[in-house]
C-alpha cells in the first residue's frame, strides 16, 4: 500500500486577509476549539457573562483555590453548566481550569482581543 503525501499549503501573502467568524474560534486547534467553543456557548446560552464578569471584577479568583476548588457560586454554576454538555463532560480538572482561564480573558477583554492574542502567537492570552 502506498501512502499519499500532501504538499504543505502555500504561504499566505501579506495582501490576503484571513477572516474568522466571531466566536467560532476557527483559529484554535481542533482539540482546544471544541472545549473553548462549548464553554463559550454554554455561558452565552445560560446568560452568565454579566455575572461572571462582575464576579471577576469585584472578587477575582482566589489565588489559593483557583477555579477548580472555588466556593464562589457563580464560578461553580458556570462549571456545572459546562460539565453538563456532551463535550464538557469530558473535562479533566486541568482542562476545566484552563478553559475557565480562557473564559476569564474573554469575559474581561472580549473575544476579539482573545482572537488577536492567540493569532499573534500567545499560547495563553496575557492579562
| Contact by Cβ (8 Å): 108, 56 | yes
Residue 123's pLDDT is 53
| Tens digit of pLDDT at every position of the chain (127 positions) | 555 555 555 444 444 444 445 577 887 887 788 999 999 999 999 999 999 999 999 999 999 999 999 999 999 999 999 999 999 898 998 999 999 999 999 999 998 888 888 888 765 544 4
Supply the pTM of this predicted model.
Answer: 0.77
Residue 121's pLDDT is 75
| Contact by Cβ (8 Å): 118, 27 | yes
* DSSP type of residue 39: H
pLDDT in tens, 106-119: 999 998 888 888 88
Residue 80's pLDDT is 96
Query: How many residues in the chain?
Result: 127
Nearest to 73 by CA among 52, 89, 53: 52
Amino acid at each position: 500500500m502506498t501512502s499519499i503525501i500532501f504538499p504543505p499549503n502555500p504561504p499566505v501573502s501579506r495582501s490576503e486577509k484571513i477572516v474568522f467568524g466571531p466566536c467560532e474560534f476557527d483559529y484554535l486547534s481542533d482539540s482546544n476549539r471544541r472545549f473553548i467553543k462549548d464553554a463559550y456557548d454554554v455561558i452565552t446560552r445560560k446568560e452568565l457573562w454579566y455575572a461572571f464578569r462582575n464576579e471577576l471584577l469585584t472578587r477575582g479568583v482566589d489565588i489559593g483555590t483557583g477555579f477548580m476548588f472555588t466556593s464562589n457560586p457563580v464560578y461553580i454554576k458556570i462549571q456545572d453548566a459546562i460539565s453538563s454538555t456532551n463535550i464538557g463532560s469530558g473535562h479533566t480538572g486541568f482542562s476545566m481550569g484552563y478553559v475557565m482561564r480562557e473564559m476569564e480573558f474573554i469575559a474581561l477583554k472580549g473575544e476579539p482581543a482573545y482572537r488577536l492574542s492567540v493569532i499573534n502567537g500567545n499560547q495563553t492570552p496575557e492579562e
